[in-house]
Structure 1
Amino acid sequence: MRNYDPDRPVPPEAVERLLAHATRAPSAGFAQGWGFLVLTGEADRDLFWTASTPEGQGMTGWLAGMRRAPLLVVAHSNRSAYLDRYAEPDKGWTDRDPDRWPAPYWDIDAGFASLLMLLTAVDEGLGACFFGIPPLRVESYREAFGVPPDFSPIGAITVGYPAPDRRSPSLKRGQRPPDQVIHHGRWTGRRAI
């Protein structure tokens, strides 16, 4: 979803369900090392776009439709919560070494929580889009909203009712055929492009 109806706010009970489902996402060691910044007011949403948008992108193209979303939720991960949790006696990694982790589960788990919000949006008859904050704008975003240093924004989600013209140019690419992405028992088929 890249274009929203700015005159239809997301009902408060739908916002509550989005967030309730997000907090029930799986997390390694049940660390729950996520945090969500919820922006419903116009001033807060404007501040988000000002703080996170690269210079010169303004209200053009796909961003113009995204800016009309009446709800923004920024998902954050907290690596320290996982390192602390796995230093507890039932886990036993007292050195808190992030190199023990085969993947950054703090980010993965915040992604799981974000996906649950996206799925809930669909169930509520809403549209939504997950996107990243450009690396060069993360610090201005942090400063604008007082995000603590332990929390890293992994992505933002726009949510709202679809505008009549809601298509994404990315959809023109089409979906990859199943034989390119699903492999049973042994990796087969051609390499991903």
Structure 2
Amino acid sequence: MDALEAIHTRRSIRKFDGKPVSPGQIETLLRAAMAAPSAGNAQPWRFLVVTDRDILDRIPDIHPYAAMVRTAPVGILVLGDASLEKYPGYWVLDCAAAIQNMLLAARATGLGSVWTGVYPTPERVAAFSKMFALPGHIIPHSFVVVGHPVQSPGPVDRFNPARIDENAFVGK
């Protein structure tokens, strides 16, 4: 699958068949994530791969929009490492770019995924920090659920010319 096809056919998948995802597949996703651009090339991300069923089943207790993890074999907690930042505050953007690469890699390799936000919701940040005993400079950004999809929604054309201005903002 080429890059444009992966971009235009990627969808948030919320139903998985429970079949294992191999360590090699997980590494492929993480390699794609770490290939993302970052401010000053700081790469202030860390990734906590969760495959333990007991832990995965507890995630919906602390994240109301992550219930689909109960049918998935893998969750990846994307973390920002504030000690690695060169430009304060950009870790959020850097982690988002890494996540988008991960989602596209999942699509390109036949896996399904869904991005569930953690940061900046204080309750979620605190709950994930506590669950995984994270030190203060490590901030939970998002929880990406990964598995073999049961559903396969078709592509949707989201192009909207009304959202485009040229040379000057004229929109409302």
TM-score bucket of the superposed structures, by smaller chain: 0.7 to 0.9
Overall identity of the aligned pairs, in %: 34
Question: In 2, Cα distance between the equivalents of 1:146 and 1:9?
Answer: 26
Q: Which residue pairs with 2:168 in the alignment?
A: 186
Which of 150, 166, 169 aligns to 2:137? It is 150
Could you list the runs of 5+ residues in structure 2 that have no partner in the other structure?
A: 1-12
- AA aligned to 1:72 is G
Q: Which residue pairs with 2:52 in the alignment?
A: 41
Which of 17, 37, 48 aligns to 2:28? It is 17
TM-score by length of 2: 0.78
- AA aligned to 1:136 is E
Q: CA deviation at 1:38?
A: 0.6
Q: Of the two, which has the highest radius of gyration?
A: 1
Partner-residue secondary structure (3-state), 2:92 = helix
Are the equivalent residues in 2 in contact too, given 1:3–1:162 (CA < 8 A)? Answer: yes
1:89-104 maps to which residues of 2 (within 5 A)?
A: 98=88, 104=89
- RMSD value, Cα: 2.4
Aligned residue pair count = 157
Question: In 2, Cα distance between the equivalents of 1:79 and 1:137?
Answer: 18
Question: In 2, Cα distance between the equivalents of 1:140 and 1:65?
Answer: 18
Which of 53, 78, 82 aligns to 2:81? It is 78
Are the equivalent residues in 1 in contact too, given 2:113–2:145 (CA < 8 A)? Answer: yes
Are the equivalent residues in 2 in contact too, given 1:4–1:68 (CA < 8 A)? Answer: yes
1:67 and 2:70 correspond: yes
TM-score by length of 1: 0.71
Partner-residue secondary structure (3-state), 1:67 = helix
Q: Deviations over 1:6-31 (max 9, x none)?
A: 2x111221101101111121111121
